[in-house]
């Protein structure tokens, strides 16, 4: 199963741009900008040992602080593409980017023009597709903890400085004390411009946050949605309206949203008929990979190789990839499943 998953073509729908920085990438950035983040990969493991969600946000923002120049953005993005394609067999990924924390002065009193940020991610996107065969697309998200000023800036970045690869609009960060409803005008504007609505919801709060994301923000997919398991009516709604959940098991345990993998609600989602996709969120920070998340899902759901292949198909179908890309990856998954079956038969 491990070998099958490692070479299985995949789509990654819930993975954060800065949060995808591996120890190798963070070490390089820390060498460029010495400070609070250790450059020694061994020490980085201790640095990434999270106590709770608030501590995770603190560590995440410390890594954000290392991405200070357009060259840093370009390096980070291109190297993420390399690691996803070569290490995880990812053919298509929607990276959640938070330009507000890079473009405007915030925790590090430095910033870069949005035009330079956009040019850097786009150059990396085109280069990664050329060099590694991976298709990258962007979701710009509002850092919820920064409130309405961040929302105003993010929607302006998305609409007035829209990069070619931008396909979605999201909302991340802490949920407690950050009601989804206040961001309705921003999501309305983004959706009117053709961007897809993909907010985080129900990770550290209850089902009401998911309901608000659907009703107020027009959510087409839900980031995490862990607490949906508490509300049978919500599960039925998600299933009926085919609103996928972007499930990230190891992340949920690391941030204490779920007590343990054994208690993860993924099986309840599947039993209720909800569309689920398997994702890695901030994989190096949580000591995981997309391959590992598929292994966990296979264990929780008692799947064979055919079942795992169907999970991969579900992510492709739930993506916002162009039809030609979707069709190509689905065919690759089918071919992979057939090839593995032939090997077993032989």
3-state secondary structure of 258: coil
DSSP bridge pairs for 13: none
d(CA 219, CA 201): 10
- Cα three-residue angle 336-341-345, rounded to 5 degrees: 150
Give the max Cα distance, the chain.
62
The arrangement of strands across the sheet holding 90-97 comes to 10-16, 90-97, 135-143, 166-172, 196-197
DSSP bridge pairs for 138: 95, 166
Structure tokens at 63: 């890594």
CB 180 within 8 A of CB 212: yes
175 is catalytic: no
Spell out a b/e string for 16-38, using b for 16 or more CB atoms within 10 Å of the CB, else e: bbbbbbbbebbbbbbeebeeebb
d(CA 154, CA 103): 10
Using CA of residue 45, residue 111, residue 53, residue 169, what is the dihedral sign?
negative
DSSP bridge pairs for 92: 11, 135
d(CA 169, CA 315): 18
For tokens 């993909």, name the residue: 198
Active-site residue, from 203, 220, 246, 293: 203
CB 151 within 8 A of CB 179: no
Active-site residues: which are they?
203
């Amino acid at each position: 199963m491990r070998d099958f998953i490692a070479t299985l073509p995949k789509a990654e729908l819930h993975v954060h741009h800065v949060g995808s920085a591996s120890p190798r990438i963070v070490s390089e950035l820390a060498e460029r900008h010495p400070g609070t983040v250790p450059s020694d990969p061994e020490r980085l493991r201790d640095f990434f040992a999270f106590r709770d969600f608030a501590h995770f946000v603190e560590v995440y923002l410390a890594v954000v602080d290392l991405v200070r120049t357009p060259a840093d953005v370009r390096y980070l993005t291109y190297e993420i593409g390399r690691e996803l394609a070569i290490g995880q067999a990812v053919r298509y990924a929607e990276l959640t980017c938070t330009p507000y924390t890079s473009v405007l002065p915030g925790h590090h009193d430095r910033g870069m023009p949005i035009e330079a940020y956009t040019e850097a991610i786009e150059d990396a996107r085109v280069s990664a597709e050329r060099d590694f065969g991976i298709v990258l697309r962007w979701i710009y998200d509002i850092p919820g903890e920064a409130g309405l000023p961040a929302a105003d800036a993010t929607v302006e970045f998305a609409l007035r400085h829209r990069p070619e690869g931008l396909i979605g609009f999201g909302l991340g960060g802490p949920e407690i004390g950050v009601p989804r409803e206040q961001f309705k005008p921003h999501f309305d504007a983004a959706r009117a411009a053709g961007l897809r609505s993909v907010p985080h919801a129900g990770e550290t709060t209850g089902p009401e946050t998911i309901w608000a994301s659907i009703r107020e923000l027009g959510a087409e997919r839900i980031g995490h949605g862990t607490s949906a398991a508490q509300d049978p009516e919500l599960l039925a709604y998600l299933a009926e309206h085919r609103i996928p959940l972007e499930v990230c098991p190891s992340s949920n345990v690391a941030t204490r949203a779920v007590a343990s993998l054994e208690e993860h609600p993924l099986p309840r989602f599947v039993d209720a008929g909800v569309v689920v996709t398997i994702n890695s969120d901030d994989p190096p920070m949580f000591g995981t990979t997309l391959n590992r998340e598929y292994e966990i899902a296979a264990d929780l759901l008692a799947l064979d190789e055919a079942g795992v292949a169907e999970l991969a198909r579900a992510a492709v179908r739930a993506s916002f990839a162009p039809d030609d890309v979707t069709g190509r990856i689905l065919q690759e998954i089918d071919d992979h499943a057939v090839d593995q079956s032939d090997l077993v038969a032989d």
